[in-house]
Amino acid sequence: MKRIDLRSDTVTLPTDEMRKAMANAEVGDDVYMDDPTVNLLQKKAAELLGKEDALFVISGTMGNLLSIMTQTRHGDELITGRNNHIITHEVGGLAALCGVMTRLVNNDNDMIYPEDIEAAMRPDDIHEPRSVLVCLENALSNGTVVPLEIMKKDYETAKRLGLNVHLDGARLFNAALALNCDVKELAACADSVMFCLSKGLGSPMGSMICGTKEFIAQARKNRKRIGGGGRQMGHMAACGLVALDVMTKRLHEDHDNAKYLAAELKKIQGVHLMSEPEISMVFFKLDADEAKFMSLCKDAGILMNPSDRGVYRVVTHVGVEKEDLDVLIECIHKAL
């Protein structure tokens, strides 16, 4: 029986091409900055995003942390959304390791609008912390994308107020695909950008942060400080190159599969689709007993996360075929 893992796009396995690239990579000591494969990956990532420079880091969490650390001082405040990944899923790293306060935007759709930034900006007052950074996310963790126009206006507003902008673009390529724009256009709405090579792009590990040369030089120092300076990292960077060259070009398959699943779910009485999928994520409620549904899934070889207050999330990725989604649909019918 095939194992069908619908829990997340983080479960993707390296492709054969990645495994070969890993084995054959030309490597060096990346702390000395002489690993040619890492250097090539960083050059490519910077070019793709239209930024001066880029840095290869272990994870999206490390990329966000270093971006915040490099653009803030202890006691500073950043503005972000209450459900952004840096708030809900990064173990309070920005407080624990950067000493940064947060001012949270509270919109139901998790977007941040220019007026939210204006309202959250602290006045120049002896009593108040210094507002320094806005942290945006696109695609959002709720599976929606922030329109480019909003990103542009957010950036203009932040710059007018003297703030820097960091973009958590863990799924930047999914967002650009859904918005039918170039990743450069999204990257132009931020001073620093993090995107993941793992997740939908299939690398076993790694994320990139991109920005000015000065920002990257300081982030590299901070990466060393937190123990993230790797040595023969080219073996991993080689997968990142395949991710950029090959895997970015197939993401539409995951989006199409998510749309297929949503269309099928809409036909079933007792299934409530939360919204039309915009990237590779489908959210739905089910008028069926959760334990029964989960057990049916398990028996069919499907790995699903338990619901979040009744809402299930399915994530499509390179390891999921359309037929696998039919197996899920069958389980839903049985559970109902």
Which stretches of the chain bind ligand PLP, using CB under 6 A? Answer: 10, 59-61, 64, 85, 137, 141, 168, 170, 196, 198, 207
In this structure, the chain runs to a length of: 336
Closest separation between CB of residue 1 and ligand PLP, Å?
27
Q: 29 vs 110, which CB is nearer to ligand PLP?
A: 110
Candidates 154, 171, 1, 173; CA nearest to 85 is 171
Candidates 324, 45, 83, 321; CA nearest to 192 is 45
Instruction: Give dist(CA 317, CA 11) in Å, integer.
Output: 9
Q: 166 vs 220, which CB is nearer to ligand PLP?
A: 166
Closest separation between CB of residue 325 and ligand PLP, Å?
21
Closest separation between CB of residue 144 and ligand PLP, Å?
12
Q: 78 vs 335, which CB is nearer to ligand PLP?
A: 78
Report phi then psi at 285, rounded to 5.
-110, 160
Instruction: Give dist(CA 256, CA 171) in Å, integer.
Output: 16
Sequence-ordered list of residues with C-beta below 8 angstroms from that of 65, at least 6 positions apart, any chain: 90, 93, 94, 97, 98, 226
Closest separation between CB of residue 20 and ligand PLP, Å?
24
Closest separation between CB of residue 50 and ligand PLP, Å?
21
C-alpha angle with apex 121: 118 to 125, nearest 5 degrees? 135
Closest separation between CB of residue 262 and ligand PLP, Å?
20
Q: 94 vs 170, which CB is nearer to ligand PLP?
A: 170
Q: 66 vs 158, which CB is nearer to ligand PLP?
A: 66
Q: 86 vs 335, which CB is nearer to ligand PLP?
A: 86
DSSP character string of 148-169: HHHHHHHHHHHHHTT-EEEEEE
Report phi then psi at 107, rounded to 5.
-90, 145
Residue nearest to ligand PLP (CB): 60
